[in-house]
Amino acid sequence: MLNIEDCMKTKILLDEINEAYPYMSMPASMDLTVHTHGCEYCADVRERLEAYRGLELDKTVYIFMRRNWGTLSPVGFLWFIPLYLRYCISLQWDDAEELIYFLVYSFDPLPESEDSSFIRLSLLSVKQIKCLIYFLEWCDENENYYESEVDTIKAFNFLHRLLMLKSS
Ligand SMILES: [Zn+2]
């Protein structure tokens, strides 16, 4: 169901994303992933992404990346995250929800992978982290969003902790 209020909120969020994340072209292949050599997962991700160089990413690659989130380097993540956000909000909720819940879930890392999550997001500016918080708020306000699917409070806390690390 599309209502005017939701459309307005989505438009405001899109403007925030566009302002916080200026256009960035795909980083050099070797810079995309955490490992440059000896890791088949990272090699696979680089090959998949490389096929899209100069092209627009599509649903197949977003779904593929959702399963390979951990392979993205900080600069790979900085390039990828605004594309992912724009893609999610360009879809109807039903088509986007799996990608959206995954993203929120990724902001609630297990204790043992928390450090690598902070590192992955380490190149984001304060403005760019705030944009992720706006995205969470946008989800939270959507009538289709189920709190029970993911731990939204933990995701907010994670991003606020990241903000504090940035400003300290
Ligand atoms: Zn790897």
Q: Where are the domains of the chain?
A: 4-167
Distance 2 CA to ligand 1 centre (A): 40
Distance 68 CA to ligand 1 centre (A): 9
Residue partners of 24: CB distance under 8 A and separation at least 6? 78, 79, 82
Is residue 1 over pLDDT 60?
no
**Does the predicted TM-score (pTM) go above 0.75?**
yes
Q: What is the mean pLDDT of residues 125-138?
A: 96
Q: What is the mean pLDDT of residues 98-121?
A: 92
Q: What is the mean pLDDT of residues 89-102?
A: 93
Q: What is the distance between the alpha carbons of residues 69 and 106, in angstroms, rounded to a whole number?
A: 8
Distance 35 CA to ligand 1 centre (A): 4
Distance 129 CA to ligand 1 centre (A): 25
Q: What is the mean pLDDT of residues 49-58?
A: 97
Contact between residue 10 and residue 137 where contact means Cβ atoms under 8 Å apart: no
Q: What is the distance between the alpha carbons of residues 168 and 151, in angstroms, rounded to a whole number?
A: 26
Distance 71 CA to ligand 1 centre (A): 5
Is residue 48 over pLDDT 90?
yes
Please report the pLDDT score of residue 6 as a whole number.
81
Distance 47 CA to ligand 1 centre (A): 13
Distance 51 CA to ligand 1 centre (A): 18
Is residue 136 over pLDDT 80?
yes
The DSSP symbol for 25 reads P
Is residue 143 over pLDDT 70?
yes
Please state, for a pLDDT cut of 70, what percent of the chain lies above it.
98
Please report the pLDDT score of residue 135 as a whole number.
96
Q: What is the distance between the alpha carbons of residues 24 and 163, in angstroms, rounded to a whole number?
A: 22
Average pLDDT, the chain: 93
Q: What is the mean pLDDT of residues 49-75?
A: 96
β-sheet bridge partners, residue 33: 72
**Which range has highest mean pLDDT (4-13, 145-154, 155-164)?**
155-164
Detail the DSSP E strand segments found in 29-147: none
Distance 33 CA to ligand 1 centre (A): 7
Please report the pLDDT score of residue 151 as a whole number.
85
Please report the pLDDT score of residue 149 as a whole number.
66
Q: What is the mean pLDDT of residues 110-137?
A: 95
Distance 34 CA to ligand 1 centre (A): 6
Please report the pLDDT score of residue 2 as a whole number.
58
